[in-house]
Amino acid sequence: MILYKTASRIHMRTIAILTDFGLTDNYTGVMKGVILKINPNVNIIDISHDIEPQDISGAALILKGSYKYFPKKTIFLVVVDPGVGSGRLPIIVYSRNYIFVGPDNGVLNLAAKEDGIKRIIEIRNKKYFIKPVSDTFHGRDIFAPASAYLSKGKSGNLLGPSLDSMKELVIPKPEIDKNIIKGKVIHIDRFGDLVTNIDRKLFYRITKNKKFRIKIKNKFLSSIAKSYKSVRPGEPLAIFGSLNFLEISVNGGSAQERFSAKKGYEVSIKVK
């Protein structure tokens, strides 16, 4: 007689994957295959594979806005890696509640730092690599197997030595000059919404329920919308999005197209 463990008896770890690979090529599927070959009992979830190519800051923001909604001990496998094959290190970051695996280029920093970094490890032990290691696909040969072994309960200490620090990603802070906040667009989502570096807490600390005027290009907005339907179709609006940053959007349209905007575009607020 063959006995099978029921699903309720098996503790399945979760690996959540975030990349800039897109879905046209086989990169993401191959990484999942590597993971499942090592640990068939892991739960794999896709956060997104539509990060703009090589957009480290965009991926870092998406990760920061996503990780806390996952079960504790989730392993986040992040591959946005323009420096693949160079001297940048492959790392594992243990935070208070999660594990992050990816390149040491700043992409893991915002989320791990917010949750509280406990330990950083360089992935160096070649015993846990897929060989031969490609110069262009560490996602398959280093990061995916490392994540899989961690999901099986392997200690990060077996994969390499501890590090004292990791590369930090610096998101530019808004400039504040008396009654004026000067912010910048730091991310543009697939709907064309312009995500600025002005967070909700800063906005209300400076405005203090006073009247204000948000300027983007030659357009002025004087209120914070509760929803996209707060304005007529085709009209721009200011709203705090799910990342808790001020966003400029267009009801039924693209603010990126409306304002011919790109990352670094200035958005200012004058408090009256």
The answer to whether residues 11 and 137 belong to one domain is yes
* Residue 28, pLDDT score: 97
| 117-170 per-position pLDDT tens digit | 999 999 999 999 999 999 999 999 999 999 999 999 999 999 999 999 999 998
Q: Which two tokens stand for residue 12?
A: 């399945």
- Confidence class of residue 11 from pLDDT cuts 50, 70 and 90? low
Domain membership flag for residue 58: yes
Same domain, 194 and 119: no
Q: Are both 129 and 221 inside the same structural domain? A: no
Separation in Å, CA 256 to CA 65, 188, 189, 231, 246: 21, 7, 9, 17, 15
Asked if residue 169 belongs to a domain, the reply is no
- Please give the residue range of the domain that contains residue 95: 7-163
Residue 207's nearest CA partner among 173, 178, 185, 247 is 178
In a domain, residue 37? The reply is: yes
Q: For residue range 159-200, what is the model confidence (pLDDT) as tens digits? A: 999 999 999 998 899 999 989 999 999 999 999 999 999 999
* Residue 119 pLDDT: 98
What total of structural domains would you count in the chain?
Answer: 2
* pLDDT for position 215: 96
Domain presence at residue 54: yes
For residue 43, give the DSSP letter.
E
Q: What is the mean pLDDT of the chain?
A: 94
* Helix and strand counts by DSSP (H, E) for the chain: 7, 15
> CA torsion sign, 95 to 97 to 102 to 106?
negative
Cα dihedral across residues 141, 144, 149, 155: positive or negative: positive
Same domain, 40 and 154: yes
Do 83 and 122 have their domain in common? yes
Strand order in the sheet with 75-79: 43-48, 14-19, 75-79, 99-103, 90-95, 117-122, 162-163
Judgement on whether residues 123 and 248 belong to the same structural domain of the protein = no
Question: Is there a single domain that holds both residue 76 and residue 99?
Answer: yes
Q: Is the pLDDT of residue 10 over 60?
A: no
- Determine, yes or no, domain membership for 264: yes
pLDDT band at 6 (very low <50, low <70, confident <90, very high): very low
Q: Of the candidates 163, 189, 208, which is a domain's last residue?
A: 163
Give yes or no: residues 119 and 187 share one domain: no
Residue whose structure tokens are 């991926």: 59
**Residues 38 and 149: beta-carbon distance below 8 Å:** yes
pTM of the model: 0.90
Is 119 inside a domain boundary? yes
**What's the rounded Cα separation, in Å, for the pair 57 and 64?**
10
> What is the model's pLDDT at position 173?
93
In a domain, 1, yes or no: no
Looking at the structure, tell me whether residues 67 and 153 fall in a common domain.
Answer: yes
Q: Rounded to the nearest 5 degrees, what angle is found at the Cα of 147, between the Cα atoms of 141 and 153?
A: 130
Mean pLDDT in residue range 240-244: 93
Same domain? 142 vs 189 = no
